Chains A and B, each alone.
Chain A
Amino acid sequence: MATLKKRKQYIKGSTLIEVVVALVIIMVVFGIATLTYVHLVNSNNTPALKIQQELAALAAATAAQPSPANQVYSLENDISVAQRVQTYAGGEGLLLLELEAFDRNEKSLGIYRSIIPIEAYEEN
C-alpha cells in the first residue's frame, strides 16, 4: 500500500493547457499545409497544358483547310475557342492563325498562335 502510494506521486497526466496548446499547434500546422496545398492545386497549370494541346489539334485541322476563316468552336466543360485568321504582315502568302480559349465567364484560358501558308498554289 505504501509502495502504491509512492508510485502514484510520479504519474503525471496532461494539463488542460498542454492539451490546448497541442491542439492549437496541430490546427495551425494542418491549416497552413492545407491552404498551401489547395493553393498549389488550384494554381497548377495542367488545364493550361491540356488546353494548349487541344488548341494545337484545332490549329492543325485549320491549317489543312484550303481557306481558313474566323469562327468559334465549342469544347467540353463550357470552353469556347475563338479562331482568328489574318494576313501575316511578315511575308506574302502567309496567314497568322490565332486560337484563344475562354471559359464560361469569358476568361481567357490560353492562346495559340501560328503562321501557316496559304494553300493555293502560287505561280510566278
Chain B
Amino acid sequence: MRQPKLKAGALLSVLGIALIIALLLGAMLLLLYYNRKDNTQALRALKLERNLQSATTLLLSKPYSATTGPAETLDLYHEGTDSVQLQQYPWGIYEIALASAFENSDTLRKAFIKGRQINPAKAYVLYLKDDDRPLSVSGSTLIRGTAYLPPAGTRKAYIEDKAYQSDSTIFGPSKESEKSLPAVNAGLIAQLKQLAFDSLASHMTTAIPFETIQDSLSRSFFQEPLLISSSDSISLENMTLKGAIILVSKKAINVASSANIEQVILVAPSIHIADDFSGNLQAFAQDSLRVGQDCILSYPSVLGLLETRAENAVQEFTPEMNIGKNSTIHGIVFSAAARTNTDFMNRISLQPGSLIKGEVYADGLLEAKGSIHGSTACQRFMLRTPSSLYDNFLLDAQLDYSERSRYYLGSALLQVTSKGGVIKWLH
C-alpha cells in the first residue's frame, strides 16, 4: 500500500507566513494612510476656519462699513493660497454679511447680521431737542445716564395727583441739546422707503404674489432675498416665515399671535401686530404701526414709522406708532419725519408696562409711559391722560441707560460709527 506524501517544504511555509505578515502590514499602512488623510483634512479645516475668521474681521472693519454689492473674492495674503469671498447687502436698518473661505472643494461659510458699535463717549440716555421749553418730570420718573436737555433744563411737576418722588431729576451728567435731533442716516431712510409697494412696483419685477405662498416659507440668507408682495391686505395667521423674506403690502399687514416670524421685513402703510405675538422682525409702516399687548420682539427687532407725507400737503391724519401694554421690544423703535413743519408731528406711544431695550428715536412726539433701557431721542414729549394733554411731560417713565446690555449693537441708522459688530449668527 502506497503511503501519502508528507510535505516538509520550508519555502511553502515561509511564503504563507510572508503573505500573512504582508497582509498585516498592509492593514497598518492603510490605517496610517487614513490617519494621515484625516490630519491633512484637519489642518485644512483649521486653515479655513482661520481664514473665515479673518474674512469676518475684514467685514467688520472700516473699509467694509458701507460696502454692499456683489460678492468679492480676495486673496488674503497675496500668496494664492488663502482665498475668501465677502459680500454684504442691506437688511432693513442692518446689513447681512456673508463670508466664505475655500480651498479646492472644501468651503466654510458664515452669515451674520451686522450692527454698529456705539461710541461710549457719545452715548446718552436722553436727547431732547431744544424747543425753548423745559422737561417736566413727575411721579416715579427716572432718567439715568448722560442727558442732553434744552437750556431750560428740567423741573419737578405735580400732575394727575402725583408729585416727583426723587430729589434729583437726572441721575447722570446733563448737557445742552441742539435745536435739532442727532441726524439719522438719510441714505438709509431713502433706501427703506424704496421698499414701499408703489416704489417696488416701478423697479422690481421679481416679486412673488402673496396669494401663491403656502403656510410655511424659509429662505436662506445665502440666497437672494425673496420679495413677496400683495396689492391687498396681508394676514399672517398660522404662518411660518423665516429668513431672507421681504413682505410688502399696498394696504396693511396683520400679524397674528399664531404667526412664526424670524428675521423677516414687513413693509406696508399700516401694520398691526396682535396681542401675545412673539418673534423677530423689522416692520416699517408709513401711516400706522400698532403692537398689541404682551408682545415680545426679540433682538434685533425694528419698528419704524416712515412718513411719506408731502411737505405742504393738507393734513389728513397723524402717522402713529403704538406699543401696547407689557410688550417688550429688543432693538430699535424710530420714526422719520418727512417734513420740517412741526405741526401735527408723527407720534410714538409707549403704553404703561411696555419696555424698549435698545434705542428710541422719535423725529416727532414721544409719549413715554413705559420704560426705555437704552437711548431715547425725541423732538418733544407728550402725555395724554383721560383729562388732559401735557406737553414735554414725563409721568412714571423709566429712561435708564445703565440697564442696556453691554453687548448691545446699534445700526447705521442712528450711530454712524464705522466699526461693526456681529449682532446675530444666522447659519
Stretch binding the partner chain, chosen from B10-18, B217-225, B310-318, B398-406:
B10-18
Residues of A within 8 A of B9 (CB): 12, 14, 18
Is A41 an interface position by the 8 A CB rule? Answer: yes
Residues of A within 8 A of B117 (CB): 121
Decide if A117 touches B21 in the complex (CB within 8 Å).
no
Is B42 an interface position by the 8 A CB rule? Answer: yes
Q: A26-B17, A53-B46, A122-B418 are in contact. Are A93 and B62 (CB under 8 A)?
A: yes
Residues of A within 8 A of B32 (CB): 37, 40-41, 44
Is B61 an interface position by the 8 A CB rule? Answer: yes
Main secondary structure of the interface of B (DSSP, over half): helix
Decide if B29 touches A36 in the complex (CB within 8 Å).
yes
Residue of A nearest to B78 (CB): A89
User: In the bound complex, how far is the Cα of B28 from the Cα of A41, in angstroms?
Assistant: 11
Residues of A within 8 A of B416 (CB): 124
Q: A29-B21, A117-B61 are in contact. Are A11 and B6 (CB under 8 A)?
A: yes
Decide if A52 touches B46 in the complex (CB within 8 Å).
yes
Residues of B within 8 A of A30 (CB): 21
CB neighbors of B among A32-67 (8 A)? 33, 36-37, 40-41, 43-46, 48-49, 52-53, 56
- Which residues of B line the A interface, CB within 8 A? 3, 5-11, 13-15, 17-18, 21-22, 25, 28-29, 32-33, 35-36, 39-40, 42-43, 46-47, 50, 53-54, 57-58, 60-64, 74, 76-77, 82, 117, 119-121, 416-419
Q: List 18 A-B contacts (CB under 8 A).
A: A10-B5, A11-B6, A12-B5, A12-B9, A21-B11, A22-B11, A26-B14, A37-B25, A48-B39, A49-B42, A49-B43, A92-B63, A93-B61, A115-B54, A115-B58, A117-B419, A121-B117, A123-B121
